[in-house]
Amino acid sequence: METKPEKSLNFIHEIIEEDNRTGKYEKRVHTRFPPEPNGYLHIGHAKSICLNFGTAAKYNGKCNLRFDDTNPVKEDVEYVDSIKEDVRWLGFNWEGKELYASDYFETLYEYAEFLIKKGKAFVCDLSVEEIGKYRGTVTQPGKESPYRNRSADENLELFRKMRSGEFPDGEKVLRAKIDMTHPNMLMRDPILYRILHAEHHRTGSKWCIYPMYDFAHGQCDSIESITHSICTLEFEVHRPLYNWFIKELEIYAPQQIEFARLNLTYTVMSKRKLLELVQGGFVSGWDDPRMPTICGLRRRGYTPEAIRNFADIIGVAKRDNMIDVSLLEHCIREDLNKQASRKLAVINPLKLVIENYKESFIEEIDAVNNPENPEAGTRKISFSKVLYIEQEDFMENPPAKFFRLAPGNEVRLKYAYIIKFTGVIKDDTTGKIKEVRCTYDPDTRSGMPLSNRKVKGTIHWVAACNSIEAEVRLYEQLFTKEKSEEVEEGHDFKENLNPSSLQVKRCFIEPSAKQAKPGEKYQFERMGYFCVDPDSSKDKLIFNRTVTLKDSWAKITKA
RNA sequence: UGUCCUGUGGUGUAACUGGCAACACGUCUGAUUCUGGAUCAGAAGAGUUUAGGUUCGACCCCUAACAGGACAACCA
């Protein structure tokens, strides 16, 4: 039992173990999760959160939560609050208080002056457009700014005036003096500070110049003594620049390691596109259960355990990837199968009358709460003459291998009796089936000596006399294409939106569901896992379908 | 017409650091089942982008090609 097969290390943990072997950071492991508070966290962030906090935990290290809040015009406390909530919900804690890049604004400013004095930074008067032109292109070298050779003293004076608010937005910037012909565009005298007369969500109006992300991120990691700065691939090109700052500033050097971000089929992961869906009203909000956001998944009924397990299973590497949602779905099913109490609920009701059952008689029947966990016990459900069954569970002219109710077929009503079809009643004008009639075998109630007779199928049902009504929101993939962003030239990704990603229905549920509270998770037998929506109230129960059960019959019918 | 990164079954990740490819999801069988769920047993599916090279031996090292991605915001 103790000899679990050794799980191989991902490439980041390999690096860490090597560093621990060589004593590079005195065997210290200190990571951080550094979001910008300008949007909600999504499942891609969850991968990063699990990686950073998980790595720290694995090596008895620390992991900071730090907000990289260097752009006051895009950031807001609303986002910092939601991010903190989501990280906590996922099951992670950070020591003491969360940190902010804005905590280090003074230090960062001093770093800038240090560079100026060293002759490695200068104040530039070029406009945005001009700076763009001077930068050259990816294949052509850039040109040096005419302001590049100002004296250190002049630069210092100008920079201090920038800070004291003597210039309007955009008038001047502070730039590093590196190399305008560098093949890496980011090394072509990048901007360090810009003038922004804007209210910052934490520092208020104290500053009117703000460091660029590139001038803040690496130094913040350095200030916090981070050992391994884990980030996504797009920052790989920035690494030489961060290293340049660290070297010129002569400060502690963390090690940056990049990994490939998560992509999931049938959804989008970019903040911009997610925002577009919210603002365009294509979803009800950031926490719409169809969204891949943490709050959306939470509302959908996903558990932190399932998400953490998912993050673990998908692994970490450097190559671009596109993970099949079926893996995420597998993770939540696996978790919920063990946890969720079962209920009987009928979503597309069809009236079923048992002809030989006593009128207005009600029987209390035992139902198992969770077959995976005997300790969950049993509950009573009512059985009566008139029931509802699922429309899909009856067919007048069934195809081969249809094991449900049909002329000539016997089926079991889950936890109750075996019934036999006797007839249907149809609407005179439309010809639609209004009710199905059957007889039951009184000796076959579950648990009775003669109840073991084999029947082809078992279907779920609900008593018409006392079942309760509820709203169910049936969710499907948000997009119709695996690669949701794949569109022809000139078309928009929103054209791939799935028009039937949400179907709202009224359903009948056994009365024991009456007390269901928001956030609670159930399995409606044979239908899937459902979670009580926060919009739910005593008077109006609302359930979100987290995911269907695996359905091999559905596969057969589709084929 | 640049620099950097990446290329292993349908998908994702492995391969004890050079000894002819494993695990998970998915797919398909069969068993079992009062959820066509769960569970159990099994199968198919890659010879590691290509071409050279080093080596007794290469997924692993070297070279080149090809393919994909990133980079030209006073965004992060």
Give the model confidence (pLDDT) of A43-80 as tens digits: 999 999 999 999 999 999 999 999 999 999 999 999 99
A150 is catalytic: no
For residues A279 and A233, membership in a common domain is answered with no
**A206 with A59, same domain?**
yes
Looking at the structure, tell me whether residues A120 and A242 fall in a common domain.
Answer: yes
Identify whether A475 is part of a domain: yes
Please indicate, yes or no, whether residues A246 and A391 belong to a single structural domain of this protein. no
Question: Which of A259, A288, A321 finishes a domain?
Answer: A259
Q: Tell me what ipTM this predicted complex has.
A: 0.96
Distances (CA, A) of A308 to A35, A304, A529: 18, 6, 19
* Residue A391, domain extent: 345-460
What is the pLDDT at residue A1?
Answer: 34
* Pick from A33, A42, A483: nearest CA to A287: A42
Whether the predicted pLDDT of A129 surpasses 80: yes
Nucleotide nearest to A238 (CA to C1'): B71
Digit-coded pLDDT (tens) for A297-320: 999 999 999 999 999 999 999 999
Average pLDDT over residues A143-168: 98
Domain count, chain A: 3
Chain B: positions less than 7 Å from a protein CB are 1-8, 10-15, 17, 24-28, 34-39, 68-76
Q: Is residue A62 part of a domain?
A: yes
Residues A314 and A235 in one domain: no
> Which residue has its C-alpha nearest to nucleotide B10's C1'?
A324
A166 counts as catalytic: no
Give the model's confidence band at A4: pLDDT under 50 very low, under 70 low, under 90 confident, else very high: very low
Distance from residue A193 (CA) to nucleotide B53 (C1'), in Å?
51
A232 and A364 co-located in one domain:
no
User: From the candidates A160, A202, A271, A420, which is the catalytic residue?
Assistant: A271
Does residue A486 share a domain with residue A448?
Answer: no
> What residue has its CA nearest to the C1' of B15?
A8
Q: What is the pLDDT of residue A6?
A: 66
Q: How many residues does chain A have?
A: 559
One domain for residues A494 and A416: no
CATH code assigned at A108: 3.40.50.620
How many whole angstroms separate alpha carbon A538 and alpha carbon A392? 29
The pLDDT value recorded for residue A450 is: 84
% residues pLDDT > 90 (chain A): 94
**For A357-363, what is the mean pLDDT?**
95
Domain end residue (candidates: A259, A289, A322): A259
- CA A510 to chain CA centroid, nearest Å: 31
pLDDT at A451: 87
pLDDT value, residue A2: 35
CA of residue A21 to C1' of nucleotide B37, angstroms: 48
Q: What is the mean pLDDT of residues A113-117?
A: 98
The residue whose CA lies nearest the C1' of nucleotide B34 is A414
Task: Report pLDDT digits (tens) over A491-515.
Answer: 999 999 999 999 999 999 999 999 9
Q: Cα Rg for chain A, rounded, in angstroms?
A: 31
pLDDT at A457 over 60: yes
Do A547 and A437 belong to one domain?
no
Domain assignment present for residue A3? The answer is: no
CATH of the domain at A385: 2.40.240.10
**Does residue A30 fall inside a structural domain?**
yes
In a shared domain, residues A399 and A375: yes
Cα–Cα distance, A539 to A536 (Å, whole number): 8
Question: Which of A259, A282, A313 corresponds to the end of one domain?
Answer: A259
Does the pLDDT of residue A377 top 90, yes or no? yes
Q: Are A99 and A192 contained in the same domain?
A: yes
Closest CA to A538 of A472, A484, A468, A483: A468
* Choice among A38-52, A112-126, A139-153, A447-461 with the minimum mean pLDDT: A447-461
Question: Are residue A279 and residue A245 in the same domain, yes or no?
Answer: no
Catalytic residue of the set A261, A420, A437, A481: A261
